[in-house]
Amino acid sequence: MIAEIKYNSRKYEIDLSKPIDISIPIDVSKQNVNAWYIDDPKIFPVSDGKWVGSVAQGADVNFNNIHFNPHSHITHTECVGHITEKVYSINKNLNQFFFLTEVITVVPETLNDDEVISKKQLQFALGNKKRDAVVIRTLPNLDEKKSYRYSNTNPPYLLEEAAIYLREKGVRHLLIDLPSVDKEKDGGLLLAHNAFWNTSGKLRLDATITEFIYVPNSVEDETYFLNLMVAPFENDATPSKPVLYQIIP
C-alpha cells in the first residue's frame, strides 16, 4: 500500500506494507534485555487464590499482570521530565508521530577507558542534512543487543558536544541502540541528556530520546520516515515502537 505524505511543503511516497520495526519487545520466555541493576520483567496471571487468569489453568481468558521498568526492559521514549524536578509527561508533550529521519551508523571511539560517540562522527555522518529525527546504530551490531545484560558494563555513550551538535542542528528526536545516551556511572551529571533538552536554557519540551532500539544490519544508512508510536502513559518515559518506512524514489 503506497501512501503519499506532504511534509514541510514537499511530497513523499512510502510503502506502508513494508514497515521496519526497530523496537525491542519485552519477552519473558527468554533472556530479556536489561539495564540499571534491577530484576527482569515479569508477566504473570492474576490470581485471587481461587481463580487464576490463565486459559491453560481453566480460566475463560488470559488476564496477566505485567511488571517492568521502561528504562530497563524495553525500547522506550522519554521526555525532559526524565531529568527535571518538575513533572513532565511524554504522553502530553509528544504530539506528532511522523518524522523525516536519517539512519546513521557509528563506530564508537575510544576515550580513556570509555567508548564514545563524538560531535565529529555525527558531523561526518549527517553532513548538511536537516532532519527532525536521527537514528544512531552503533557497531558492532550483533543480535545479542536484543537480550544483553548492560548493568556494570560501561556501554558506549554520547559526548556532551555530540548532544549539543544535534540540538543546534534542530534534531528533535534522537533514537539510539544503547541503554542511555549518557555514561552508565557519571555521578548524576547526565551531560548528554541535559544538553539535548537544553535544561540550562529554554526547555525542549517536545524533544524526545528513544533508547534500546535495534536496527537490523539489512537496513541501509539513508533517509526514512519514522512513525514513533508510544504507549499512553502519563510518565517521563513510556514503552515505544519506532517503525521506519523507506521513501520511494
Q: 12-47 pLDDT, tens per residue?
A: 999 999 999 999 999 999 999 999 999 999 999 999
Q: For residue 103, which phi and psi values (nearest 5 degrees)?
A: -95, 125
Rounded to an integer, what is the distance from CA 66 to the centroid of its chain? 20
- Residues 98-123 have a mean pLDDT of 98
**Coil vs helix vs strand at 87:** coil
Q: What is the pLDDT of residue 28?
A: 97
What is the percent of the chain where pLDDT is above 70?
Answer: 100
What is d(CA 65, CA 48) in angstroms, rounded to the nearest whole number? Answer: 13
205-226: pLDDT as tens digits: 999 999 999 999 999 999 999 9
Closest CA to 82 of 203, 165, 166, 232: 203
Q: For residue 194, which phi and psi values (nearest 5 degrees)?
A: -65, -40
What is d(CA 45, CA 54) in angstroms, rounded to the nearest whole number? Answer: 6
Q: What is the pLDDT of residue 208?
A: 98
Whether the bond between 140 and the residue before it is cis, its omega within 30 degrees of 0, is yes
124-138: pLDDT as tens digits: 999 999 999 999 999
pTM for this prediction: 0.97
Domains of the chain, start order: 2-28+70-246 (3.50.30.50)
DSSP letters for 121-168: HHHHHHTT---SEEEEEESS--GGGGT-B-TTS---EE-HHHHHHHHH
DSSP letters for 215-231: --TTS-SSEEEEEEEE-
C-alpha grid cell for residue 29? 520466555
